[in-house]
């Protein structure tokens, strides 16, 4: 469980012998819809969740970067000038990768003491690594005086994840973590990188968004994710296109003969998923109830399972069991190969859905899933220091 900002400051002082200069935090995310579309320059619609990575930091004058966590990960230490891909392993490469990416932009990054505390579950497909990157990016942005805008920090954190940590992901996770605001989803066009915030009133409609963490750990620096990226690039190439963003479903169906069967199915997922994002955003922006999103969430899941082949038996069961227990809609979320599903449920049905999913996992002989509600949380920000001296006027 994450500590409060106060205990962060205390833990930092206990670790490094002096208080931090600041505490910065960034959320994990769930993607409501728009999966495996970001690196195809398509459309996504994620929300930040109310689970965050918090980073307390202070600059050092000796050019060394010290990284520690209140969680399970190992501490690490490296000179800023020695930072290079492959030099660190585990969680610390997400934090150090951000320092490295600032350096690539010619920004003089000071040495730093960093303490991480996160309650974003790791390996659950909720972007725990992007949350670390984004919180560290805010800290470095402030402490180095770089003052780069959040849109640039998105690309900088993606670079840390791709080129330093070695996971060839798109901009979905970092955009959600840095650009979302409380009570909203982010409708983002990954080609123009323009986005807009769309209100999400789950609670006002008597609805809850449940996350079902299957406990099947995923990792996007291993083969499957990169394979899917290559399949999509091959499909675009066979169609003579720069990216799959340039084609709609009717044209794809007509061009089917130009594609091998696998490339066609991968492309059909991406192209139909872009259309589903538009339909969900259109639905919500015209004031229609979130509870009616069931069919479009179901087709997203089927497309990811059958055409894109990134689901797994646990994710499929999470979706089936929650729908059978009365969820209004459900689908896998994130990159897949494990991780989490989401289920939209009426508040009154939440416990029944949770019990049904846990029972179904037990009956299937799967490890127990973790089911919890998430609310659309705020994006990355600096947190007030609780040890700040009170304002003179308040004395």
Interface residue list for ligand GLA (CB under 6 A): 31, 35-36, 38-39, 169-170, 172-173, 220, 334-335
C-alpha torsion sign, points 54, 76, 221, 371 = negative
Nearest Cα to Cα of residue 263 among 233, 290, 243: 233
Contacts of 46 (CB under 8 A, 6+ apart): 29, 30, 31, 32, 34, 172, 173, 175, 176, 180, 185, 186, 188
**Burial level of 272, CB count in 10 A (0-12/13-18/19+)?**
middle
Instruction: Using the minimum distance from each CB to ligand GLA, give the nearer residue, 126 or 252.
Output: 126
Which DSSP symbol is given to 74? P
Instruction: Using the minimum distance from each CB to ligand GLA, give the nearer residue, 56 or 157.
Output: 157
Q: How far apart are CA 211 and CA 205, in angstroms?
A: 18
Instruction: Using the minimum distance from each CB to ligand GLA, give the nearer residue, 39 or 361.
Output: 39
Alpha helices in 126-260 (DSSP H): 128-143, 150-159, 172-179, 223-238, 249-254
Identify the active-site residue in 173, 231, 307, 349.
Answer: 173
Instruction: Using the minimum distance from each CB to ligand GLA, give the nearer residue, 172 or 263.
Output: 172
Q: Is 348 helix (H, G, I), strand (E, B) or coil?
A: helix
**Min CB(231)–ligand GLA separation in Å:** 13
Instruction: Using the minimum distance from each CB to ligand GLA, give the nearer residue, 169 or 303.
Output: 169
**Min CB(100)–ligand GLA separation in Å:** 19
Q: Which residue is closest to ligand GLA by CB?
A: 335
> Active site includes 221?
no
Instruction: Using the minimum distance from each CB to ligand GLA, give the nearer residue, 59 or 85.
Output: 85
**Min CB(30)–ligand GLA separation in Å:** 10
Tell me the C-alpha to C-alpha distance, in Å, between residue 99 and each of 96, 134, 369: 5, 11, 35
**Min CB(36)–ligand GLA separation in Å:** 5
**C-beta separation of 233 from 360 below 8 A:** no
Query: CA angle 304-308-310, nearest 5°?
Result: 70
Q: Which positions are catalytic?
A: 173
């Amino acid at each position: 469980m994450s500590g409060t900002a106060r205990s962060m400051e205390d833990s930092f002082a206990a670790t490094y012998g002096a208080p931090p200069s600041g505490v910065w935090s960034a959320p994990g995310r769930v993607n409501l819809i728009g999966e495996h579309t970001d690196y195809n320059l398509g459309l996504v619609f994620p929300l930040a969740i109310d689970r965050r990575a918090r980073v307390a930091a202070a600059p050092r004058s000796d050019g060394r970067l010290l990284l520690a966590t209140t969680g399970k990960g190992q501490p690490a230490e490296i000179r800023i000038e020695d930072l290079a891909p492959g030099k660190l392993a585990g969680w610390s490469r997400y934090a150090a990768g951000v320092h490295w990416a600032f350096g690539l932009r010619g920004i003089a990054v000071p040495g730093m003491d960093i303490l991480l505390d996160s309650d974003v579950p790791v390996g659950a497909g909720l972007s725990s690594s992007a949350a670390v990157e984004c919180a560290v990016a805010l800290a470095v942005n402030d402490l180095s005086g770089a003052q780069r805008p959040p849109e640039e920090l998105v690309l900088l954190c993606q670079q840390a994840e791709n080129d330093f940590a070695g996971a060839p992901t798109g901009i979905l996770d970092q955009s959600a973590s840095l650009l979302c605001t409380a009570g909203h989803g982010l409708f983002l066009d990954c080609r123009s990188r323009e986005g807009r915030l769309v209100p999400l009133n789950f609670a006002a409609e008597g609805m809850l968004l449940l996350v079902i963490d299957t406990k099947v750990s995923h990792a996007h620096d291993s083969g499957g994710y990169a394979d899917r990226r290559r399949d999509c690039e091959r499909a675009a190439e066979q169609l003579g296109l720069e990216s799959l963003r340039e084609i709609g479903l009717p044209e794809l169906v007509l061009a089917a003969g130009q594609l091998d069967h696998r490339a066609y199915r991968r492309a059909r997922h991406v192209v139909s998923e872009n259309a589903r994002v538009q339909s969900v955003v259109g639905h919500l922006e015209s004031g229609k109830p979130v509870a009616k999103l069931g069919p479009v969430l179901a087709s997203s899941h089927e497309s990811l399972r059958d055409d894109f082949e990134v689901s797994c038996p646990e994710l499929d069961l999470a979706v089936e069991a929650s729908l059978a227990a009365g969820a209004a809609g459900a689908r896998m979320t994130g990159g897949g190969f494990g991780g989490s599903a989401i289920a939209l449920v009426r508040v009154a049905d939440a416990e029944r859905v949770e019990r049904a999913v846990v029972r179904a996992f037990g009956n299937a002989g799967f490890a127990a899933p973790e089911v919890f509600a998430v609310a659309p949380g705020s994006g990355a920000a600096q947190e007030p220091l609780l040890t700040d001296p009170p304002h003179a006027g308040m004395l």
